[in-house]
Each structure stands twice: as structure tokens, then as C-alpha cells.
Amino acid sequence: MIILKLGGSVITRKEADKPTINHENLKRITREVAESTHQKLIVVHGAGSFGHPLAKKYAIGDEIQDNLDLKKKMLGFSLTQHAVKELNGIVSEYLRMHGTLSVSIQPSSFILTKNKRIKSADLTLIKRYLELGFVPVIYGDVVLDADESIEMAVLSGDQIVKYLAEKLKPERVILATDVDGIYDKNPKKYPDAQLIETVSSLEQIETGEETNIDVTGGMGGKVSELLGLLDLEIESEIINANKTGNIKKALNGEKVTGTTIKR
């Protein structure tokens, strides 16, 4: 079984201030998925411009100040849940259009976090969908949190990837992003930045020059989720989904330029 994460920056226009699909990418990527020879597959996708601006605006996951603030955050929750569900519908539809038997899985219907980390999530149905031959499509969402000071949290697609990988022990985890992988310096600033082909610890990438890691999220969050999987002997790859053919090759088990997280 393979877990394929499609980054929000790949399937949406992340810089847009309102929800905007990257149709061109989504069409190509879902065709590559359909054309690959993978067996069982779970697709996890990020929220991109469908989730982040709203979650940020309503400060979901921040401490609740008073009842008015609670109501405001609840409205934000309702709006964000709706928007990311819409994105999920579009991703599932593109997959189906190319012949993949996609099934949507809504995190906020069955996942509870505690201090923003998944506390409980029954994966029985996801396993059954997989066994039957469906491709479950799950995504970054807003969820209830057991911590009463926040009540609600943003659950990233990356955290879902880690949780699913821990519980379901996939053969491979592929993170499709909008860059080739992790660099030793920020490649947007330094033309001589080198791609790091193998990462086995956070220290390894934090000790260098300014990299393309930002620890508040983005690549830093991804890498730390993936490093957590090494204890379970699960390796993962970060690849560039903006390059035609990469997703198909990676799903087929072919070598793709990128960063591998392994010991």
C-alpha cells in the first residue's frame, strides 16, 4: 500500500486570497495516478487556499478568549470545513474522471485531536475501502480538539499522513510538493543551493545555511512528521509534483529526483 500526499500548494493556487484550484496540475496529476501501476493507494491532500486563509482569519486552534470568540471560531470552523470539503470533492472527482475509484473520507466526522495531535481515529472503514479496491481520499480539515481551551484545531494533511502510516504500515509514503525536495540553502535566494538527497534528522538540515525549511509549518512540519516514521522503519520521499511524470514514476517505484527521509 502507498500513501500519496498531494500538497495544497500543488493542487490549489496557494498564493490566492480566495479558494482557487490549480486545474492544470490536478488534471495532470490525477491522470498520472490512474496511469500508474500501484496496487492499494490512499490519497491525502492539503487544504491550500481552501483552508489556510479561513483557518488563519478565524484563528482556529488558538486559545478561546470568551463566548463571543468561541462563536466566531465556530463560524470559522463551519466555513473552513465547508471549503476544504469542496476541495476534496473536486480532487475526488478528478480522480474518478480518470478511472480511479475514489471515496471521500471526512476527518471532522471521525477524528478527534488533543492539543492539536490526533487522539483517536478509527481506521476500520479506511481499511475496508482499501481491501475492496477503493482509493480513500482524505484531507487537511478542521476537527474537534479534546483540549477545552481551544475546542477546535486545524489538522494538517501531513499529520494525517503520519498517523495513517503509523497505523497502516504502507510500503511507501510519497509527498508530492511544489519543490524538488530539501535544499542545503534557500534555493530561491541562493542559485548554488544543493538538493539534499537523504535526510535522517532535523539537525542535519537545521545546522546548514538558511534552508527552505520554515519550522512553523511548510517543509519543516512535513519533515518532522516524516522523521517520526523512521522509528517504524517507514521511509518516505519528497518529490516535485509540478514536474510532469514524477507522480507516475514515484508510484511505479521508479527513481525520481527528490529527498528521501531514511536512516
Positions touching a second copy (CB under 8 A) are 70-71, 74-75, 77-79, 81-82, 85-86, 89, 92-93, 96, 101-110, 112, 122, 124-125, 128-129, 132-134, 144, 151
CB of 176 to a second copy, least distance (A): 22
Query: Between residues 134 and 183, which has the closer beta carbon with respect to a second copy?
Result: 134
**Residue 50 · residue 116 · CB < 8 Å:** no
Q: In this complex, which beta carbon is closest to a second copy, that of residue 48 or of residue 107?
A: 107
Q: 122 or 203: whose CB is closer to a second copy?
A: 122
Helix (H, G, I), strand (E, B) or coil at 103: strand
> Cell 481499511, residue?
127
Q: How far apart are CA 14 and CA 128, in angstroms?
A: 33
The one-letter amino acid code at 172 reads R
Residues 6+ apart with CB under 8 A from 242: 10, 25, 178
Closer residue to a second copy in complex, CB, 18/128: 128
Estimate the share of the chain in helix, then strand, then coil, as percent rounded to the nearest 5: 40, 25, 35
- Min. distance of Cβ 101 from a second copy in angstroms? 5
Nearer residue to a second copy within complex by CB, 77 or 183: 77
Q: How far apart are CA 35 and CA 27, in angstroms?
A: 12
Q: Closest approach of Cβ 140 to a second copy, in Å?
A: 15
| Residue among 165, 179, 155, 153 nearest 9 (CA) | 179
Shortest Cβ distance from residue 183 to a second copy (Å)?
38
The Cα–Cα gap between 25 and 12 comes to 9
15-26 burial string, b = 16+ CB within 10 Å, else e?
eeeebebbeebb
Q: Do residues 5 and 157 lie in contact, with contact meaning Cβ atoms separated by under 8 Å?
A: yes
Residue 74 CB, shortest distance to a second copy, in Å, is 5
Q: Which is nearer to a second copy, 37 or 109 (CB)?
A: 109
In the complex, the smallest distance separating the C-beta of residue 221 from a second copy, rounded to whole angstroms, is 24
Residue placing its CB nearer to a second copy in the complex, 13 or 127: 127
- Closest approach of a second copy to the CB of residue 117, in Å: 16
- Report which secondary-structure segment, H or E, holds 52: helix 48-57
